[in-house]
């Protein structure tokens, strides 16, 4: 009988690559522990940060005798699996939870990076540390970025051989699912939760692929893969370029579904109202609101400092306003204040007070006269990430690298990417008309900033396109991913 474990979607893995994958799994098991026979107790507790707004409860694996507050709802429950590697996968998870809640389902938050007693979390944290270090180095060293980081993110993660090793490593993570009812659907917003769920025997697994550049890194055979763009769908269907020039056996159609962009219910539902407010502020000459979201460990801080320095004179003239979210890195804000003369004196800090942040975001929806600089920092990662989502509705232009935020329905100014795979997010956004081209250096970023401020066409055109895109369902990806998971259970 043919050994299917040596294949990925019917494509035979070379013997040397398979041996390397097996060695990787064994090495990780030796270093971080082998949980093959572990049985972790599972409890459910309401998420105290986004539990009210998104109806989310956490799946916990307590090390003590803590009791759970709820029982699994095997009828309406949907598990959203993530790994908290940067903000992107967390934000996609929030979109899934938001839409699941809006559709009447019960979202369970399963962060595989939050169980320190498990080999699963130890593996993920080690990988996360390496990725974060690489991201920071890529911004400091052009040589490192050109020779190592860009090729790794663009071609290294693209190869089937990489996926073979990842699959072996994910076997170590499967134990965290052992005591979870197997009939509850799982949506993984990173490939590792999807792979681990498949290895653990979860019956209905959706693998929500985040990027617009097809890479074998994101494959979890045994799950249904959801895709945000048609370009990515075609690339994944034929596993394009995942083994050099070799023509590969395609993915079966039932393993791949185009859904559109993963976006929160409250953002999609209010697109027309929010775009109308942006156009109104532009027509009335109100301060144009730029939202700067600084993720990770403050990568690209120098670029953001240049943007702030450029905008401060315009802010003083009440022609612009700045919302700056530094996530859970207060030191980034302190460093920005040290680098940009006068920033601290003109800024209002909204720090670590979620109720006050929610109040500001709500007020900003109706008060077109808001100006100045408003800085946001929250030490809890849920609040740090979701703060951007709250402010997105009332901002005019989101300034971001072309990451997961490329797919959100708000006018976007794209700064330099981190990793070659991200450039395709900006390309897609520019093509559907809701974002700019990727601006690779500060002069071009500032040129685009001034164009937003002075031009009467750019912002309005993006708003018009966003409304048109909504009508075609481009931003309905999270709803469709949830529906896909539910339909798997229903046998549809």
Residue 70 has, within 13 A of its CA and on its CB side, a CA count of 18
Are 253 and 297 part of one and the same domain?
Answer: no
Are 458 and 346 part of one and the same domain?
Answer: yes
Averaged pLDDT score across all residues of the chain = 92
Residue 26: per-residue pLDDT:
87
Residue 298 has pLDDT above 70, yes or no: no
Are 96 and 230 part of one and the same domain?
Answer: yes
User: How many domains does the structure of the chain reveal?
Assistant: 2
Residue 296 has, within 13 A of its CA and on its CB side, a CA count of 20
Are 340 and 451 part of one and the same domain?
Answer: yes
Tokens standing for residue 301: 């801080």
Q: Which of 16-20, 173-177, 440-444, 486-490 has the lowest mean pLDDT?
A: 16-20
Residue 471: per-residue pLDDT:
98
Are 274 and 259 part of one and the same domain?
Answer: no
Work out the pLDDT band at 5, boundaries 50, 70, 90.
Answer: low
CATH label of the domain that carries residue 24: 3.40.50
d(CA 204, CA 23): 29
Work out the pLDDT band at 295, boundaries 50, 70, 90.
Answer: low
Residue 288 has pLDDT above 90, yes or no: yes
CATH label of the domain that carries residue 444: 3.40.50.2000
Residue 1: per-residue pLDDT:
34
Work out the pLDDT band at 296, boundaries 50, 70, 90.
Answer: low
Are 27 and 112 part of one and the same domain?
Answer: yes
Are 256 and 112 part of one and the same domain?
Answer: yes
Are 240 and 276 part of one and the same domain?
Answer: no
Say whether pTM exceeds 0.85: yes
Residue 319 has pLDDT above 70, yes or no: yes
Are 451 and 317 part of one and the same domain?
Answer: yes
Encode pLDDT of 220-253 as tens digits. Answer: 999 999 999 999 999 999 999 999 999 999 999 9
- What average pLDDT score do residues 252-263 get? 98
Are 161 and 281 part of one and the same domain?
Answer: no
Helices 458-471 and 271-284, interaxial angle, to 10°? 170
Q: 333: Cβ–Cβ under 8 A, 6 or more apart, which residues?
A: 324, 326, 349, 375, 377
Q: What is the domain extent for residue 217?
A: 4-263+478-490
Are 144 and 178 part of one and the same domain?
Answer: yes
Encode pLDDT of 84-106 as tens digits. Answer: 777 888 999 999 999 999 999 99
Are 271 and 206 part of one and the same domain?
Answer: no
Helices 301-316 and 330-339, interaxial angle, to 10°? 60
Residue 333 has pLDDT above 80, yes or no: yes
Measured CA angle at 216 (ends 211, 222), to 5 deg: 100
- What average pLDDT score do residues 467-475 get? 98
Work out the pLDDT band at 366, boundaries 50, 70, 90.
Answer: very high
Encode pLDDT of 54-86 as tens digits. Answer: 999 999 999 888 888 899 999 999 999 999 777
Q: Give the pairing of strands 186-188 and 205-208.
A: parallel
Share of the chain above pLDDT 70, in %: 98
- What average pLDDT score do residues 340-361 get? 95
Q: 35: Cβ–Cβ under 8 A, 6 or more apart, which residues?
A: 118, 119, 120, 172, 174, 175, 176
313 burial type by CB count under 10 A (0-12 exposed, 13-18 middle, 19+ buried): exposed
């Amino acid at each position: 009988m043919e050994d299917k474990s040596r294949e990925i979607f019917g494509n035979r893995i070379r013997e040397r690559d398979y041996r390397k994958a097996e060695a990787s799994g064994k090495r990780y098991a030796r270093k971080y522990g082998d949980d093959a026979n572990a049985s972790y107790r599972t409890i459910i507790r309401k998420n105290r940060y986004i539990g009210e707004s998104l109806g989310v409860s956490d799946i916990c694996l307590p090390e003590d005798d803590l009791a759970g507050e709820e029982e699994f709802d095997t009828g309406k429950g949907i598990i959203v699996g993530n790994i908290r590697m940067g903000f992107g996968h967390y934000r996609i998870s929030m979109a899934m939870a938001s839409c699941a809640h809006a559709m009447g389902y019960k979202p369970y938050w399963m962060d595989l990076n939050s169980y320190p007693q498990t080999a699963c979390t130890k593996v993920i944290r080690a990988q996360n540390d390496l990725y974060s270090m690489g991201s920071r180095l890529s911004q400091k060293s052009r040589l490192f970025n050109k020779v190592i980081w860009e090729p790794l993110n663009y071609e290294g993660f693209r190869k089937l051989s990489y996926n073979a090793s990842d699959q072996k490593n994910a076997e170590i993570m499967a134990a965290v699912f052992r005591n979870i009812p197997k009939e509850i659907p799982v949506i993984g917003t990173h490939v590792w939760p999807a792979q681990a769920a498949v290895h653990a025997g979860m019956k209905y697994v959706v693998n929500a692929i985040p990027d617009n550049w097809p890479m074998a890194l994101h494959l979890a055979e045994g799950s249904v893969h959801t895709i945000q763009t048609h370009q990515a769908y075609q690339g994944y269907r034929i596993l394009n370029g995942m083994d050099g020039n070799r023509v590969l056996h395609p993915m079966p159609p039932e393993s791949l579904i185009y859904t559109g962009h993963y976006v929160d219910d409250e953002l999609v539902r209010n697109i027309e109202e929010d775009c109308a407010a942006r156009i109104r502020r532009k027509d009335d000459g109100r301060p144009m609101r730029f939202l700067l979201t600084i993720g990770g460990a403050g990568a690209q801080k120098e670029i953001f400092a240049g943007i702030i320095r450029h905008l401060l004179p315009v802010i003083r003239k009440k022609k612009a306003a700045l919302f700056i979210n530094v996530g859970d890195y207060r030191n980034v804000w302190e460093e920005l204040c040290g680098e940009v003369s006068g920033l601290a004196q003109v800024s209002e800090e909204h720090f670590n007070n979620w109720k006050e942040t929610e109040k500001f975001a709500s007020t900003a929806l109706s008060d077109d006269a808001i100006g100045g600089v408003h800085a946001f920092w929250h030490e809890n990662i849920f609040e740090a990430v979701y703060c951007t989502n709250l402010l997105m509705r009332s901002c005019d232009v989101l300034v971001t690298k072309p990451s997961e935020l490329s797919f959100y329905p708000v006018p976007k100014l794209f700064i330099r990417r981190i990793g070659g795979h991200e450039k395709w997010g900006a390309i897609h956004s520019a093509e559907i008309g809701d974002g700019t081209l990727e601006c690779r250096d500060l002069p071009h970023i500032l040129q685009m900033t001034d164009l937003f401020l002075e031009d009467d066409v750019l912002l309005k055109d993006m708003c018009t396109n966003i409304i048109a895109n909504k009508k075609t369902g481009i931003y309905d990806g999270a709803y469709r991913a949830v529906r896909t998971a539910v339909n798997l259970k229903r046998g549809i």
